[in-house]
Structure 1
């Protein structure tokens, strides 16, 4: 599932592509029937919170997108005077700038969990259901720490709970806990505020790198040995995520994996000492 940096990057790009002008909105697949309500309207801007993306339109309407496990956007830059390419496959929503000279961007959304038109007021309702987002400059991390510090659940599960912390997924969870030497099985109530503040500050920095680079990068230069990631040379290198059975980059111990609340957890038992997998 795409993590929060992906949605924030999309929000910035879509604002750049479409803001300040009318757009064409269609549903080639036919499953986004509400698209007719926003077709031809002015696109004001796009925002993101956690793993949710919003396209904001004139007249108090927004399109709410949650990519889920399989959703993604394709982008086309169409030369001036040419039509966009014909949709290929199951395109739930197509958005295109109505060009006023020059090339125009078009984006195709495929496979989302949610794609719906909502009232602008409902955007706030979605935000209110989520925890603070490290990529939101106005976020209040105290809300997350108040819940974590009272919880007996393992911190590895708490960081993945979108009601507690918005936008953190499996990769950032594994990597930030490794970077701070925190045992993922440790109850949230056993962490002190200095540790929690350090995790938050690191997530803010790492996820902004993800927005800028379009990919997750978590390894400090001194630990990057130039190896090929398990999922291919074009994928970012990690400390522990999907490196189970491999040597830890820092200590050489074997990276472990174990299910935690139906998601696969990765950690190094030497660099993150404490309770081992139960």
Structure 2
């Protein structure tokens, strides 16, 4: 499932390429035909992400709410102006890199792109990984990827629920869990049900909301971190990694987790989310050399402590990583480091 960092990257792509412009909306698949007809011709006024959901405001007080769910993704094509706060496929290094890593951004600035084997950092398709990619003509920020002979508008490929287009940029939505239109009041009501997102509102207020929500519940912390009313944006990968980084037993009831540990979880989520938004990858490893960082950016197996490492030795203690099911989702953890 696309986690919070992906949705924030999508929102920034829309802000850069669609806000202030009228959109041509259609539903090639037909399942959102009425909604697309209402959106068609309206100017986009703002866009924001909250956790795993994106809200696109158009003129006339009409909001588009999209929740990608397990399989949803946005495919961008045409001329794409890349938001400067997110990296290209190279994955920028520097001051917002993971904790404990001190790497010189200039040392890799002219190297070949770090291409992720799972497509997680793609600026062309953001969401559930795709085996194919639509044509992309990037901005000057990513020179060398242009194809002046590409067909425009791009042909519809697969089951496109919603296509939004400006004169030069196209965004195709496939496989979302939710794609609905809302009034301003309905949009605010949806957001009010969501837990704090480090990139939305005051981060200190978000911390207090998170601490209060966790420490009043007897539910295991592993379930609380996946509860979008407790905290927004955390999915299976970040859940496993945050708990390992905190050396916290996933079955500990929220009310039994020391307050300082809960606060540390929030602050680590603030840090990891920022890294994920910038690089497009859920990078959770610390203290990597330049070569290790490049390997981790290219291969998911090299960038996580415990996620997807069932039966492999813990990177810290050597104990086999355990896989179990909790809340109908897979949970990876180290029974020794997180005892």
TM-score, normalised to structure 1, is: 0.89
CA root-mean-square deviation: 2.2
Q: Secondary structure at the match of 1:25?
A: strand
Checking the alignment, whether the CA contact within 8 Å between 1:216 and 1:236 is kept in structure 2 is no
Corresponding position: 1:133 with 2:200: no
The farther-off stretch of 67-76 and 134-143 is: 134-143
Q: Give the strand-richer structure, 1 or 2.
A: 1
Q: What is aligned with 1:92?
A: 161
> Hey, what's the Cα distance between the residues in 2 that align with 1:3 and 1:246?
24
> Hey, what's the Cα distance between the residues in 2 that align with 1:105 and 1:234?
30
Aligned length: 266
> Hey, what's the Cα distance between the residues in 1 that align with 2:183 and 2:232?
22
* Structure 1 unaligned regions, length at least 5: 99-103, 274-278
TM-score, normalised to structure 2, is: 0.74
Q: Secondary structure at the match of 1:250?
A: coil
- 1:222 shift after superposition: 4.5
- 1:150 shift after superposition: 1.8
Structure with more relative contact order (C-alpha pairs < 8 Å, separation 6 or more): 2
> Hey, what's the Cα distance between the residues in 2 that align with 1:24 and 1:236?
41
Q: Secondary structure at the match of 2:23?
A: strand
- 1:1-278 to 2 correspondences below 5 Å: 1-33=1-33, 34-78=35-79, 83-98=152-167, 104-139=168-203, 140-222=206-288, 233=299, 237-273=303-339
> Hey, what's the Cα distance between the residues in 2 that align with 1:207 and 1:141?
14
Q: Secondary structure at the match of 1:21?
A: coil
- 1:152 shift after superposition: 1.4
> Hey, what's the Cα distance between the residues in 1 that align with 2:295 and 2:336?
23
CA offsets 1:114-151 (integer angstroms, 9 cap, x no match): 11111122111111111111222425232222121121
CA offsets 1:151-171 (integer angstroms, 9 cap, x no match): 111111111111111111111
Q: What is aligned with 1:276?
A: none
Q: Secondary structure at the match of 1:92?
A: strand
- 1:27 shift after superposition: 0.7
Checking the alignment, whether the CA contact within 8 Å between 1:76 and 1:107 is kept in structure 2 is yes
Checking the alignment, whether the CA contact within 8 Å between 1:35 and 1:117 is kept in structure 2 is no
Q: Secondary structure at the match of 1:197?
A: helix
Q: Secondary structure at the match of 1:269?
A: coil
* Structure 2 unaligned regions, length at least 5: 80-136, 138-147
Q: What is aligned with 2:125?
A: none
